[in-house]
Amino acid sequence: MPRPSNAPSRVPAGATPLVSPGKAPVPAKPVQEGVGAFWDILAFRLIFVIVCTGAGFHFRPFSLSAFEGAAAGLVFSIAVILFELRLRRASLRRLIGAAVGSILGILGAYMISLIFTHTTIPLSTRSFFSLAIFLVMTYIGLVLGANKGDMLNLQAFGGVFGSERNVRHSVKLLDTSVIIDGRVADIAEAQFLDGTVIIPQFVLRELQLVADSADPLKRQRGRRGLEVLQRIQKMTHLDVQIAEDDFAQIADVDMKLIELAKRYDAKVVTNDFNLNKVATLQGLEVMNVNLLANALKPVVLPGETMRVFILREGKEYNQGVAYLDDGTMVVVDGARKMINKTIDISVTSVHQTTAGKMIFGRYDERAIETPRPVAAEPQGQGRVAEAGGERPRPLYPESGRS
């Protein structure tokens, strides 16, 4: 079967054209509407460029000549179109956050400029300070509002905003243990982790303390966690953010993480068993890396035969312990004498827990013991049974030979 083309399509997401068996596929209407919309937008942009250029030619801003004013209008229109193209890729939450942040910045700048009117500062200096504060406050409000916009919970508004949350809301909160573990970077690289990834500031502090530890093992784990964060930051499909929120009244890092997840309505990514239980009890969604690893392990059913390498003896009598390539422990009864050997075992049971999977098996030496060849007795020297003196049964009954 030929694979579908990877060419970009203008069909809206989630819309699947229906094709009847034996009939050629009919182009969907949204494609034609998309082409028409493209030409309409192009026409509007051309009109906007012409109007801006004509306005610059007519009004001559900054005492420029007519042609210089037209060039200034052309540059201004191109800058606006580029800004519009960038806004088309932004999410609704980012746009709302940027709008609210810029409005608050403008209000703050206006309140500060009112204070300048009651001072004896010269008018020219006062105008300069008012304009500078207006630009700075608007810029800061715009940038901060856009960065924090993805953390808005639009589900509370319902309607169009609620559907936007269902499609785009994907905020994950990383725990220290899962960062040090390192597998989360591979999961994200395989694009099983997307959306916004939040790294709390207190998690970074804890990671830095581990990296600066006097214990060489802890220091190595902390540095590996910092390298994992650098890998995640370089991934283009993830929006990595540092959360400055802190809870001074809470000393435990796990409880801070739970409170932060409640504030941002985020999922907790961890491999800590206790944190998984506590977060689940408090109604939070948890993405446990260990559960994902267990789900990807091959399924083994009782009664199947598998080949393992016995590494050491077990805790119980006559037990041997082996490990699969993915780290799964295999406890084998009757394999104590087969240490450092590869044997075939029969699976008896499989125990699955949140901490991992354990496989129990049995090694039966008699089942795989190679039978010894039976030598045929010379003809005429049949052995007489001890009781009764009868001759033994023939070796080849179908041929009549004895």
For residue 9, the model assigns a pLDDT of 38
Higher-pLDDT residue of 124 and 34 is: 124
For residue 247, the model assigns a pLDDT of 83
Say if CB 197 and CB 178 are below 8 A apart: no
pLDDT (tens digit per residue) in 74-109: 999 899 888 888 777 777 777 888 888 889 999 998
CA distance 294 to 191: 19
As a whole number, mean pLDDT of residues 214-237 equals 90
- Could you give the 3-state DSSP secondary structure of residue 3? coil
Question: Dihedrals φ, ψ of 195, to 5°?
Answer: 85, -150
For residue 106, the model assigns a pLDDT of 92
**Stretch (H or E) spanning 115:** helix 92-116
Average pLDDT, the chain: 77
pLDDT (tens digit per residue) in 339-386: 999 999 999 988 876 666 788 999 877 655 444 454 444 444 444 444
Say if CB 180 and CB 221 are below 8 A apart: yes
| Every domain of the chain and the residues it spans | 170-295, 305-362
For residue 356, the model assigns a pLDDT of 67
* Percent of the chain with pLDDT strictly greater than 90: 12
Paired strand residues for 198: 173, 241
Computed from CA positions of residues 27, 31, 35, 36, in that sequence, does the dihedral angle turn out positive or negative? positive
As a whole number, mean pLDDT of residues 290-297 equals 80
Q: What is the DSSP letter of 369?
A: P
For residue 15, the model assigns a pLDDT of 40
Higher-pLDDT residue of 151 and 14 is: 151
Residue 49: which residues within 8 A CB-CB, separation 6 or more? 74, 77, 78, 81
The angle subtended at Cα 13 by Cα 240 and Cα 161, nearest 5°, is 65
Question: Dihedrals φ, ψ of 330, to 5°?
Answer: -120, 120
Picking from 215, 211, 213, 236, the residue whose alpha carbon sits closest to that of residue 225 is 211
Arch. (CATH architecture) of 305-362: Beta Barrel (2.40)
CATH of the domain spanning 170-295, picked from 3.40.50.1360, 3.40.50.300, 3.30.930.10, 3.40.50.1010: 3.40.50.1010
Say if CB 193 and CB 187 are below 8 A apart: yes
CA distance 307 to 299: 15
CA distance 314 to 45: 76
CA distance 69 to 63: 8
Does the pLDDT of residue 174 top 70, yes or no?
Answer: yes
Structure tokens at 152: 């808005």
Block residue for tokens 């991992």: 356
Structure tokens at 230: 């650098």
Residue 219: which residues within 8 A CB-CB, separation 6 or more? 210, 211, 212, 213
Lateral strand order in the sheet of 286-288: 238-243, 195-200, 171-174, 267-270, 286-288
CA distance 345 to 335: 9
When mean pLDDT is compared across 7-16, 129-138, 185-194, the lowest value belongs to: 7-16
